[in-house]
């Protein structure tokens, strides 16, 4: 289980930025390979660019599926906006009948007076599109990270 994959510290420079993309791509690969994961599992990253930790550097070669997600997160972190929401749909062409998976991403950033990144919180929420429609008894599992509103989801 990968409820909380890793809390990581980075600096905002080119090498760390690329390492962040690599790390997030690897995280998405781990999610994709874990078939027992539920639609309520979340990954949580808190990124502190002022420290000098090295982070996991893995090759960016996972069939292309996680790369758009990682790039979207990295772009959101370096954008001037405080918050950014995005969603990436992952479908397995080898198994077209299987439920598609959606990775909802919510990014919040804080910057100093000079516009430098102080911290960013990244929430990655994996949701599975089931064939059945949600019922009235479905539980609300917190805010929908794709649009910031609470929404009922199928269990």
Question: Where on the phi/psi map is residue 105: left (φ > 0), alpha (ψ -120 to 50), or beta?
Answer: beta
- For 42, 72, 87, 121, the CA distances from 18, given in Å and listed in that order, are 22, 13, 20, 17
Question: CA-CA distance, 83 to 104, in Å (whole number)?
Answer: 14
Q: Which residue has the tokens 């690599």?
A: 22
Alpha carbons 11 and 89: distance in angstroms, whole number: 29
The pLDDT value recorded for residue 141 is: 40
Residue 42 is predicted with a pLDDT of 38
Task: Evaluate if residue 91 carries a pLDDT over 70.
Answer: no
Contact 25, 70 (CB under 8 A): yes
Task: Tell me the per-residue pLDDT of 96-141, one tens digit each, with 9 for 90 and over.
Answer: 566 555 555 666 666 678 766 666 565 655 555 554 434 333 333 4
**What is the distance of C-alpha 12 from the center of its chain?**
18
The conformation of residue 86, written as its DSSP 8-state character, comes to E
More confident residue, 104 or 44: 104
Q: What is the pLDDT of residue 144?
A: 40
- Within 8 A by CB and 6+ apart from 97, the residues are none
The band of 17, judged by pLDDT with boundaries at 50, 70 and 90, is low
Q: Of 21-25, 39-43, 83-87, which gets the smallest average pLDDT?
A: 39-43
Confidence of residue 3 (pLDDT cuts 50, 70, 90): very low
Is the pLDDT at 153 greater than 50, yes or no? no
């Amino acid at each position: 289980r990968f409820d909380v994959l890793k809390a990581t510290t980075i600096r905002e420079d080119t090498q760390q930025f690329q390492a962040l993309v690599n790390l997030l791509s690897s995280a998405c690969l781990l999610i994709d390979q874990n078939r027992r994961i539920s639609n309520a599992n979340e990954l949580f990253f808190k990124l502190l660019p002022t420290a000098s930790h090295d982070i996991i550097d893995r090759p960016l070669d996972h069939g292309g599926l996680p790369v758009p997600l990682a790039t979207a997160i990295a772009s959101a972190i370096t954008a001037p906006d405080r918050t950014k929401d995005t969603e990436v749909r992952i479908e397995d062409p080898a198994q077209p009948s299987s439920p598609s998976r959606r990775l909802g991403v919510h990014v919040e950033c804080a910057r100093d007076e000079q516009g430098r990144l102080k911290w960013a919180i990244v929430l990655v929420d994996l949701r599975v599109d089931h064939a059945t429609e949600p019922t009235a008894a479905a539980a609300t599992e917190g805010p929908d990270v794709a649009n910031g509103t609470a929404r009922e989801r199928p269990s």
